[in-house]
Amino acid sequence: MQKLNDLSRSLAVLEPDVTLIAVIEMSLSSWLVAGIVPGVERQPLKKLAVDESALLKLLHRWREEAEKAGRRIKRIVVAFEAGRDGFWLARWLKACGIEAYVIHASSVAVSREHRRAKTDRLDTELLKRAVLGWLRGERDHCKMVAIPTIKDEDAKRPNRERDSLVGERSRIVNRMKAALVRLGIRGFNPKLKRAAERLDGLRTPEGEPIPPNTMAELRRDMERRRLVNNQIRQIEEARLERLEQTPSDGPHAMVRLLARVIGVGIETADMLVHEVLTRNMRDRRAVARYGGLTGSPDESGRRRREKGLARSGNARVRRGMIQLAWRFLLHQKNSALAQWYRARTENARGTRKPLIVALARKLLIALWRLVRQGVVPDGVVLRLAQ
């Protein structure tokens, strides 16, 4: 009954005679804008340069055409798929008094033909059908992405940049080790403080020094690694400084609370808060789905099988929570979650990895309740508040 009432209210909100709908197929060089204009039989299609002012002029022109046809436009809705451009256009349109929605690209159903035609024009037709269904209240037509503020987007950048730099540092070290192994030199650790000084003393199995070009490459890689380390240190120091300056700020208070859980560090706490815990989630199932820690069952007739983890969630949260789950077993051995895991894996073979995902899902929900409701998970030990 509740779903029927929601559908009735949504149908009442969508008034086709006074609503102008436009969808945008965006690329690096141009925008293809398709519209549904009340009173105009044709459905206009216009290719524009990447220019928000030209888009606004086009929407106003279509509204004037509808008014000439005797329809008074009260509502303009613009939708486009989430992509490289991010959310700036949606924020700009909302500031101009226009409803803007960002469609989750993978939520739009497409034809399952092996060789289907795909053009920007056909894509706009798909988007128009999906948006119309969604506005009517049929939520399964597509999924809309929550539009973050600039502040929310900017808060994610330090953790994501640090994650990228850590990966770059690992690639540099692996490249240096590979260059030395090609010469038969093993056991050299490029991460030591005096690694650069030891390069001159390295010798190949034939007793020859490192060739000049390889030596120059290794020294450049040493310099790159030193630069990356300095940048990682700057990010970490800036984060700690922000936490000390405004400790009671909403996200900062959440980070400090999570960091009190033994086994959870500042980096993991910062990632979880800005990626998932500050979002308005409906319930624990929504938290698990967004974290990418739910299954993907394949059921048809008598066939029942599990295809593994669904890939529709946040990959950073999924990877971080699985790593945190293994650490949680080491640092919170007396917690109810750790006991639950041990009870199910003690005498069962081949269940440790599948159940670690279940533990990660339960742990994410428990941390969500901790920062939202202040409920400490059973048996979890917290550090003293500083």
Angle, nearest 10°, between helix axes 212-245 and 150-181?
A: 150
User: 114-157 pLDDT, tens per residue?
Assistant: 778 888 899 899 999 999 999 988 878 888 999 999 999 999 99
Task: State pLDDT tens for residues 30-81.
Answer: 999 999 999 888 889 999 999 999 999 999 999 999 999 888 899 999 999 9
pLDDT band at residue 16 using 50, 70 and 90 as cut-offs:
low
Q: Phi-psi category of 331—alpha, beta or left, where left has phi over 0 and alpha has psi -120 to 50?
A: alpha
pLDDT on residue 384: 84
**DSSP-assigned letter for residue 116:** -
Chain centroid offset of residue 348 CA: 34
Q: Is the pLDDT of residue 340 over 80?
A: yes
Q: What is the C-alpha to C-alpha distance for residues 262 and 365, in angstroms, rounded to an integer?
A: 17
In terms of pTM, does the model score above 0.75?
yes
Place of tokens 């099988």: 305
Q: Which of 47, 287, 252, 262 is CA-nearest to residue 151? A: 252
* Number of residues in the chain: 386
- pLDDT digit string (tens) for 287-332? 999 999 988 888 888 888 877 887 788 999 999 999 999 999 999 9
Give the closest residue to 310 by CA, choosing from 350, 361, 349. Answer: 361
* DSSP-derived 3-state class of residue 375: coil
183 has a pLDDT exceeding 70: yes
Rg of the chain's alpha carbons, rounded to an integer? 27
Q: Both tokens of residue 91?
A: 């924020």
Predicted pLDDT at 101: 95
pLDDT at 10 over 50: no
Q: In what order do the strands lie in the sheet with 144-145?
A: 45-49, 30-36, 19-26, 75-81, 99-103, 144-145
